[in-house]
Amino acid sequence: MSAYPTEVNRMRIVEIKAVKDENLNVKTIFFEDDLCSSAEAGQFVMVWIPGVDEIPLTLSSIGSRSKDGLSSVTVAEVGEATRALRGMEAGELIGVRGPFGNHFETVSRGGRALVVGGGIGMASLMPLIERLVENDVETTVLFGVKSRSNLLFMERLGELSAQGRIRLLVTTEDGTYGAEGLVTEAAEKVLSSGRFDVVYSCGPEAMMYKIFGLAEKLGIPVQLSLERIIRCAIGICGSCVVGPYRVCRDGPIFTSDRLRVIRDFGRFRRDFNGRKTPI
């Protein structure tokens, strides 16, 4: 009867099965949930930290595709809710609704993909990378962080790289790991020296805006994951709008044709009260 499955929006209370510190500021939280198990790469969930807040987090692993059948979110501490969540341990309860939104579309077998992640943005790209590799897409991953201590998912990425299933390039702003500089500089070089069918990216919007500009010049389609304030997550409250689209329902993944019509992209976002604030 309905295009919008109310089942997905029902809040499930799940127990945290395991946690993993990715670095000093980032933690992955594993849980079991049937609906999340069948999610697609790039989709997000609303995580309720009882008594604190409810926040959007991308699935950093998807149960049906992980060895232990667990799904996960990976959270970077930036404020009250993320601090509370990062402090939680196995056995504690959280609420989960979702998965919500659209997802990354993988290119066809034999295609060539460039994946550009900035910091915690890598969380939403991990399931995508694993999917691309499964589909025999020739995948180059650029991962930029401030400093060596901000790296995350290096086991998962390192393994794929060691097996020769992805080409991995890491950049740090201070040169403490990989190449010194910004990931956008690395992207510019890689894009000019190779042919790509698609560019995927998730990270700070200023970074993605730059990546979009580079790809546009070369005529390569992009799929970027945008962030805005999420309240309802089901496309009715209007807090997440960018141009004529809703991040929670039409996004969070945006393709080049849509990005071209979003006047706000790379320029401003809406605050909790709906006022424009510069990116």
Residue 8 sits in the site that holds ligand FMN (CB under 6 A): no
Q: Site residues for ligand FMN, window 208-267 (CB under 6 A)?
A: 232, 236-237
* Residue closer to ligand FES, measured from CB, 5 or 164: 5
CA 23/CA 216 separation, integer angstroms: 34
CA 13/CA 84 separation, integer angstroms: 17
- Strand, coil or helix: what is 20? strand
CB of 218 to other proteins, least distance (A): 28
Tell me, rounded to whole angstroms, the distance of Cα 226 from its chain centroid: 9
Q: Which of 231, 243, 262, 266 touches ligand FES (CB under 6 A)?
A: 231
Q: Which two tokens stand for residue 158?
A: 């390192």
Q: Which two tokens stand for residue 87?
A: 């402090």
Residues of this chain that interact with ligand FAD (CB under 6 A) are: 44, 53, 55-58, 73-76, 78-82, 120, 123-124, 227-230, 252
Residue 3 sits in the site that holds other proteins (CB under 8 A): yes
CB of 210 to ligand FES, least distance (A): 26
* Residue closer to other proteins, measured from CB, 2 or 163: 2
* Nearest to 93, CA basis, from 25, 9, 140, 31: 31
Give the bridge partners for 29, in sequence order.
19, 73
Residue 83 sits in the site that holds other proteins (CB under 8 A): no
Residue 233 interacts with, from ligand FAD, ligand FES, ligand FMN, none (CB under 5-8 Å by kind): ligand FES
* Residue closer to ligand FAD, measured from CB, 45 or 220: 45
Residue 179 sits in the site that holds ligand FMN (CB under 6 A): no
Kind and range of the H or E run holding 173: none
Residue 24 sits in the site that holds other proteins (CB under 8 A): no
Cite the beta strand spans of 119-267 per DSSP E. 138-145, 166-172, 179-180, 198-202, 222-225, 241-242, 245-246, 253-255
Using CB under 6 A, count the residues that bind ligand FES: 12
Handedness of CA 271, 225, 153, 170 (dihedral sign): negative
Interaction site with ligand FMN (CB under 6 A): 232, 236-237
